[in-house]
Structure 1
Amino acid sequence: MSFALYRVLAYVTGVFLIGLVFVAMPARYLVGESSMFALFGAPQGWEHWFGPDTPLVMYITLPHGYVYMAYVLVVIWVALDRRWGAGRTLGVALSGTIPVLGFVIERRIVKQEQAKGEAAAEGGSQEPARTG
């Protein structure tokens, strides 16, 4: 259960992070006359979507923060369940802070856990060697 939830939250966190980095933050800081680093003017009729008061903060930034907090808690849950070390746990949790890296780490973790499961299944199905 915890591992499936980790996989879902890894993707949701990654999608929100991409939206945050490539949509919400540029809309807030780079586009519009009232933006902090105004590189471009806002498109005609769309001015309310850009600048320091953009509603994208409510739609992308705030949900990303809550989803990321849930992601970190689930990573800790999985780490305790799977007996991960502190370094691996911290690395997986921090992978949700770099766009696209969360997707890559999630795939690696799934492959590693599947390999562990297959190795355990093979080891359990073999008969012990007889002595005497």
Structure 2
Amino acid sequence: MNTLLKVLRIVGYLEGLSYSLLLFVAVPVKYILNDPQYVKLLGMPHGLLFVAYVVIAILIGLELKWSKKTMAFVLLAAVIPFGTFIADKKYFKLA
């Protein structure tokens, strides 16, 4: 389980980074400069990292018997900007 938790931490970091870049760099460039290239470039990797984060978080949550509140927060963290960084600090370092 320790290895899977390390993978979750890495995927969570990358997912949070890709989401932040997508939201705060690529989308403004798309609408301000009318250049959708960065959204196309970052969209697919972010989507794959998002799915990987959710699947791994569910697997670890079931294994560690997280409460519904903890599981909800960890999963919700994937859709909140910088949420995966908070989840990492609050839950993943402790496990």
SS of 1:97's partner is coil
The reply to whether residue 16 of structure 1 matches residue 22 of structure 2 is no
User: What RMSD over aligned residues (CA atoms) do the two structures have, in Å?
Assistant: 1.4
Structure 1 residues 62-103: Cα deviation after superposition (integer angstroms, max 9, x where no partner): 211111011000000110111112221121011121222211
Where do 4+ consecutive residues of structure 1 move more than 6 Å? none
Q: Which residue of 2 aligns with 1:7?
A: 9
Aligned residue for 2:55? Answer: 73
In structure 2, C-alpha distance between the alignment counterparts of 1:111 and 1:64, rounded to whole Å? 23
| More RCO (CA 8 Å, sep 6+) | 2
Where do 5+ consecutive residues of structure 2 fail to align?
Answer: none
For each residue in 1:10-48, what CA deviation from the matched residue of structure 2 results, as whole angstroms up to 9, or x when unmatched? 10011001101111111112x13xx4xxxxxxxxxxxxx
**1:26, 1:111 → 2: CA distance?**
33
- Counterpart CA distance in 1 for 2:49 and 2:83 is 16
Trace 1:29-68 onto structure 2 (pairs within 5 A). Answer: 29=31, 31-32=32-33, 35=34, 50=35, 54-68=36-50
1:110 Cα deviation (Å)?
3.0
Q: Percent identity?
A: 27
Q: Which one has the largest radius of gyration?
A: 1
Mapping for residues 88-99 of structure 1, pairs under 5 Å: 88-99=70-81
Kindly indicate whether the alpha-carbon contact (under 8 Å) linking 2:30 and 2:37 is maintained by their aligned counterparts in 1.
no
Q: TM-score, normalised by structure 1?
A: 0.64
Instruction: Tell me if structure 2 keeps the 8 A contact 1:16–1:60.
Output: yes
Q: Is the 8 A contact 2:18 2:42 kept in 1?
A: yes
Give, in whole Å, the separation in 2 of the partners of 1:62 and 1:106. 23
- Structure with greater helix percent: 2
